[in-house]
Structure 1
């Protein structure tokens, strides 16, 4: 009897400890997420800085560079544009990714969104000559979308996979990121400035769930031990 009670108490103590540890972990994750959100919001609203050149590419990371507001100058290669399927606040359609040849490197620029029924480039804005692009730095999206892989031979694209798009278009010295262009003049295509910057932050709910379960387990253990003493 005593052995069974000891085993029950040990199991209860381990369960409560584990649940409390999970709750603390979620609190720490929430702190990290809030810091990440603050840093990204600061990058998005900051004045644009020069886009990283080849020397800086090895140090470009999601943690330090994603959603940085950058600028770059160069000439668009419109003949090498790639359409990537997209769903936006404006509906379904395509992102328009066009290479911009800058000094010493090329970068893919997401010029914006076009609806499915407006995919003919004849109706789009087509900047010629030297241009300056500002926008948000985004890291490559390898592979494709959920349950859909990019198919370069068929020219079907479901994600903005920089390396594969560059290879398919015969581009060289391409930055390992792309740029989501800022909004352009109203009324034209493509429509820029549609980047969604959002992070799920349910860690407080998860933490409260784990702490509640720990309290319930502790209460149950106290109740069972009290009943056994009667």
Structure 2
């Protein structure tokens, strides 16, 4: 004889929960995901601190007093972390006959950076990005009034060599087509000894350019600092992992109307 025993006290209702194996798997997965997401969030916090320090250091360099550009004895110590965007000055003579042009897109439209070797009195060479010229003024003969002969002084920002081209195009030295300021490759193309060419170039401010060409001082300094947003995203994912694990692991009561009867 079957007899239904109705459970009148809700506290006596059987509870439904995951099995032991499921619990172990969920806990392990939650620990791994939480640790990974939290670690990524903490890394972004550290990156934010590093980026803010970088911005402060670069800002101090850009707006500081100009110092003499590193000479050959100090070239091996020049680095991106120590020197890039430092305001420097240089005295030398332009080698206008060895000019190169690098494709550029600026606020003035498409055109070219004019890269001209400057020779110091000791015979060493530093490449100078004199500035931007529009496409119709690319050829040197179209802007002879902008050429500077004899010794002159240049002030600008120190930049590091760009040997890898751009994410869209690679440099083609044999055809004299340049998309990044690879000063070493340019020097070799122009027949200069690479050992005599500095591993950096200078973005000139253009203050000494006659005829206002090339247009100098167009260096863009931008360090996106979205690390706080990234950190909050990863920490949020870590929190959601805990919430998801709790939802899976919690013990639930059966829905109303579910048959929880026992049979004798």
TM-score tier after normalising by the smaller chain length: over 0.9
- The 5 A counterparts of 1:61-72 are 61-72=79-90
Paired position in structure 2 for 1:147: 168
Q: TM-score, normalised by structure 1?
A: 0.95
> Size of the alignment, in residue pairs?
230
C-alpha offsets along residues 63-85 of structure 1, whole Å, 9 cap, x if unaligned?
11111100010100100000110
- The 5 A counterparts of 1:1-230 are 1-104=19-122, 105-121=124-140, 122-123=142-143, 124-172=145-193, 173-184=196-207, 188-227=212-251
For 2:170 and 2:250, the matched residues in 1 are separated by 59
Q: TM-score, normalised by structure 2?
A: 0.83
For 1:69 and 1:212, the matched residues in 2 are separated by 42
Q: Which has the larger radius of gyration?
A: 2
- The structure-2 alpha-carbon separation of the partners of 1:197 and 1:186, relative to structure 1 and needing over 3 Å to count, comes to farther
Following superposition, the deviation at residue 187 of structure 1 comes to 5.9
Tell me if structure 2 keeps the 8 A contact 1:183–1:194. Answer: no
Q: Comparing 190-199 with 216-225, which one deviates more in the overlay?
A: 216-225
RMSD between superposed Cα atoms in Å = 1.5
C-alpha offsets along residues 146-193 of structure 1, whole Å, 9 cap, x if unaligned?
231211221111111011000001123010000000132696210000
For 1:15 and 1:57, the matched residues in 2 are separated by 46
For 2:249 and 2:29, the matched residues in 1 are separated by 13
Structure holding more strand per residue: 1
Following superposition, the deviation at residue 3 of structure 1 comes to 2.3
Higher RCO (C-alpha 8 Å, min separation 6) = 2
SS across alignment from 1:170: coil
